[in-house]
Structure formats: structure tokens, C-alpha cells
Amino acid sequence: MILTKKNARHLTPLLRNLLGVFVIVAVFTVLELTNTTHFFHHQQIGSGIIPSRNPKTQTPPENQSGPASQSTKNNKNPADNQAPTSGSLIAPYGTFISNHWPNLDGSPAPSQEQSRCQTSPGASCYITFKNNGVVKTLAPQNADNEGTVIWNWDISKAGFTEGTWKINVIASLNGTTKTANDSMNLEVGP
């Protein structure tokens, strides 16, 4: 084919269209590689705080920096559920999670979970879920006068992936820390 002015005019729209397609493919590739879109791969899951609420206060939690920050931000009035912080620390026990076999799609049961930690009144308690280096955390709360901490949360909104998650509970009081492991793992299904 000999390139003439007439042929060049028809080639220009074709080159513009090819350039447009190339730009779209390049942008899409960058979005996939930076884990912004998930058309061709699963979302990479990261560690973080699980959104939850304390059923005693019905106040949603505020963002927190991590498990080391002891918090009473979930309480409307922190003094209402504060217990004396004297005495020895009781190792955490209780129903660390209400359903050990949830599915991410919420079937056959809803994906709502309740976690509970029993420890000494006034102690700070939090729960971690670990799977292949990823750690999800129910933010620290102070135990009430009965030594109870409760979190209500949604497994499908917490960023869990399918698989086995080890459950660890940590309680602290007056510089002392005690831990407990759930005797059963959290088995998250599709």
C-alpha cells in the first residue's frame, strides 16, 4: 500500500482509536496492579480494626490506631461503664465469637457476629483473628462492672477472606497482661 494524502486521512482516525484503546488498557492495568480494581484477581486483604459496636451503648466505634490504644470511645459516657481498676487480672474467658462457621455471603445464617470477653472489671480487652500474616482486631474496650466486654460486628464487612482464622484474646490491667486462645478456630466459608 502506498501512503498518499487520501490514505493518511483515513489512517489518522484509526491511529487515534488505537491510541485511545492503548490508554484505556494502560490505565486499567495500573488499577489492577495497584489493587484498586478486582476484575482479574481477588482483593488483597490487609490487617486492621474490625468495625463494631458495643450493644450496651449502641454507639458506633471511632477509628482507632490499633490494639495498643486502650479506648473507651465506644461508650457515650466513659464513666458509665468504667469499673474500678484495682485487683488482680483474670485471664479472659467467654464466648469469644458467636458463630465459628460463618459464610461471607451470609447464608445460611446472617453474617452478624457477637464477641464477648469476660475478665476483671475495668480491664481493657481486645480480640485478634489471624490468618497467613493478616491480623483483624476487635478494638480494645474496658470491661464493665461485671468484667464484660461485648462487640457486635459483621463478618462480611470486616474484610475477612475464606479460610481458618486463629482467635486470640488479650486483657490488660495495671500493667499486667493475660491472653487466651479460643479452643476452636473461626472457619470462614464463601
Nearest partner of 156 among 73, 51, 62, 72, judged by Cα: 51
Structural domain boundaries, residue 7? 1-44
Confidence of residue 189 (pLDDT cuts 50, 70, 90): confident
Cell triple for residue 116? Answer: 464477648
pLDDT tens by residue, 64-103: 333 433 333 333 333 344 455 557 999 999 889 999 998 8
Residues 93 and 12 in one domain: no
One domain for residues 33 and 79: no
Same domain, 94 and 175: yes
Contact 117, 171 (CB under 8 A): yes
Residue 38's pLDDT is: 55
Sequence-distant (6+) residues with CB within 8 A of 113 are 97, 98, 99, 102, 152, 153, 154, 155
Tally of domains in the chain? 2
User: What pLDDT digit, counting tens, does each position of 13-59 carry?
Assistant: 777 777 777 878 777 677 666 555 556 545 445 667 776 776 664 44
* Overall pTM surpassing 0.75 (yes/no): no
Q: What does residue 54 show for φ and ψ, rounded to 5 degrees?
A: -90, 120
Residues 95 and 145 in one domain: yes
- When pLDDT is averaged across residues 94-116 and rounded to a whole number, the result is 83
Question: Do 9 and 80 reside in the same domain of the chain?
Answer: no
